[in-house]
Chains A and B, each alone.
Chain A
Amino acid sequence: MTTPSMLTRKPKRLTIRWRSIIVHGFLIVGALVMIYPLLWLASSSLKPANLIFSDLSLWPSKIRLQNYVDGWRGAALPFSSFFLNSFIVSGLAVVGNVFACSMVAYAFARLNFVFKRTLFALMMLTIMLPLHATLIPQYALFYNLGWVNTFLPLTVPKFLAVDSFFIFLMVQFIRGIPRELDEAAVIDGAGPIRIYWSVILPLLTPALVTTAVFSFIWTYEDFLSPLVYLTSMDLYTVPQGLSLLMSSKGASSWGPLLAMSLLSLVPLFVVFFVFQRRLIEGIATSGLKG
């Protein structure tokens, strides 16, 4: 705020302070409402079954860690198996997206080739394309390749840069990297592969981190693809494990179910707290849906 406007506002100062207290009050109440369900989840996961729905207080009067022990055992297989599967699939998705999308983005941002405009337009169109448009033929394809009930349908597409949103994100980022750096490398005798690897990739790190973080979150949360492709229980990911626990145990075991639900969110909380700034910047600059 500039000095002159400060001067004219001086008599209003008191009301401005009151207004800011009201705004803070409102925002704090709103924030509490927003995270109340999550706090309730955390506290209920520690309560004995008879208290989950009768004790409103967030601080459990009796703590029952047994919920976690029972939940971890899962419906038929323990959650260690579901978590391991989820981490394998999400980890591969991260690696695939980071490398494949950055290669394509480098080509679009820096290299010249035939049909560039057409291919770029196609790439932009695929961002908008709903998943269901390709779901069934993809299933038929993977079925005929014998890939159903393996991790391949969930991971191979990432290595083929199917998530074109990340390509777009990286193209935008590479355009901001000064071309002089490439040109200097060309003078040093570097070809496109060297330039990609030693000039562009290191400078692209922020966009790569954003891509990695969102790839992890989306793959880890994804329910539809595992539901369609993974049929044997030992390949189930965490969301399927939760769904299984929910349908098999029914109302008798809310405690263990809520305990595992909370536990399944822990990797997301960790990613959120470590990469908060990248996440928020990523959304703000590119409109990622998060």
Chain B
Amino acid sequence: MSTTLSGTASLESATAPEARPRRHKAVGINARQNGAAFLFLAPWLIGLVFLTLGPILASFYLSLTRYDMFTPPQWLGLDNYVKMFAEDGRYYQSLRVTFTYVFLSVPLKLAFALGIAMLLNRGLKGLGFYRSVYYLPSLLGGSVAVAIMWRQVFAYDGIINQILLKFGIDGPSWITSTDYALYTLVALAVWQFGSPMVIFLAGLKQIPQDIYDAAEVDGAGPVRKFFSVTLPLLTPIIFFNFVMQIIGAFQAFTPAYIISGGKGGPADATLFYTLYLYEQAFTNFQMGYASAMAWVLVAIIGLATTLSFQSARYWVHYGDER
């Protein structure tokens, strides 16, 4: 395949900047060129040093201290980390909630995204209309307004229960039930499958029709075509969507904050990692402890990403490997 399979492929080509810098230039980049370039880079470099790299290092230092913003940090060594893993039950609860959320919402979201994208990719009339309607929720989904709406939809007297009542089912109070509250948030995430769907659609369009025709000549039915053509050729896109969604899902904050009234309730059933971190940092002013939590979150996301990349070589097929 000569054209790149959308997102992932372009990401890869991007990691190797300037395919091959011209030799004679690479030897001596003169002062004037540097000057001009750094003029353009200046704002970003200031941001990189003061808002990204500096804070990351500072946050590591703070994670080893007790810090409340108003008095200078006190050295604690690894105490914050020890406390986190050995004593803090709420911390474990926040891990449990977040992992449940990630492991449920990401696969479901991707399954819906792929399923609908496959249906839309049949050259139907009205593709643009359907695509817009299915995409809209993922555009609005991060907002407080949608979280408030969701809270009402799943309220005890909300529409879900009213519809259930028509079938004679007396639904639970979803939002205030420790059994169901987290799943309403999973549902809210799945409802936003539109943006991975749009990426899948772009990927499906890149699969040349000849491959399907050839498969058909060989006697492949629709199921066989899906598993032997579509799915393997789409693996780079699936991989890309998977990684992006995982990274995003670990950081979910707004819906949980609004739906639980900022507390992660009922009884910590929706105490997302980020919510607990926010509480420790900005309600309890345990900035050192929160920094340690932030570092563990970075490690978790980094590990998840690394594992995904490691696993990729077993299941992701790039078109030009042959």
Give A residues with C-beta under 8 Å from B. 2, 5, 20, 23-24, 26-27, 30-31, 34-38, 40-41, 44, 52-54, 56, 100, 103-104, 106-108, 111-114, 116-117, 119-124, 126, 128-141, 143, 157, 159-162, 164, 167-168, 171-172, 191-193, 196, 217-218, 221, 223-224, 227-228, 238-239, 242-243, 246-247, 254, 257-258, 260-262, 264-265, 268, 272, 276, 279-280, 283-290
Q: Give the nearest-CB partner of A143 in chain B.
A: B69
Known A30-B116, A223-B254, A279-B139; judge A112-B162 contact (CB<8 A): no
Q: What's the least CB distance linking B304 to chain A, in Å?
A: 11
Measured between beta carbons, the chain A residues less than 8 angstroms from B86 are none
In contact, A258 and B124 (Cβ under 8 angstroms): no
Contact partner, A283, options B48, B130, B143, B195, Cβ 8 Å = B195
Contact of A289 among B44, B133, B248, B250 (CB under 8 A): B248
A136 contacts B281, C-beta separation under 8 Å = yes
Give, as a whole number of angstroms, the nearest-CB distance from A135 to chain B: 7
Q: A134-B52, A217-B139 are in contact. Are A283 and B162 (CB under 8 A)?
A: no
* B 1-19 to A, binary, CB cutoff 8 A, 1 in contact else 0: 0000011101100110110
Q: Which residues of B contact A139 (CB under 8 A)?
A: 69, 281
Q: State which of B26, B37, B55, B130 has its C-beta within 8 Å of the C-beta of A141.
A: B55
Question: A116 to B17, Cβ gap below 8 A?
Answer: yes
How near does chain A come to B84, taking the closest CB pair, in angstroms? Answer: 15
Decide: A265 and B124 in contact? CB cutoff 8 A. Answer: no
Residue B198 interfacial (CB < 8 Å): yes
Give me the 6 closest cross-chain CB pairs, A-B, nearest first.
Answer: A160-B47, A287-B7, A284-B202, A113-B37, A137-B55, A290-B195
Chain B residues with CB under 8 Å of A279's CB are 135, 139
Contact A136 B51 (CB under 8 A): no
Chain B hits for A121, CB < 8 A = 15
Is residue B191 within 8 Å, beta carbon to beta carbon, of the partner chain? yes
Partner of A134, one of B21, B56, B199: B56
Q: Which chain B residue lies CB-closest to A105?
A: B40
Chosen A-B contacts, 14 in total, with CB atoms closer than 8 Å, are A38-B137, A112-B25, A120-B17, A121-B15, A126-B52, A129-B298, A130-B297, A135-B294, A136-B59, A140-B58, A221-B142, A223-B253, A279-B135, A287-B244
The smallest beta-carbon distance between A50 and chain B, in angstroms, is 11
Instruction: Say yes or no: A141 contacts B116, CB within 8 Å.
Output: no
Complex: how many Å from CA A114 to CA B41? 12
Chain A residues within 8 Å of B297, by CB? 130, 132-133
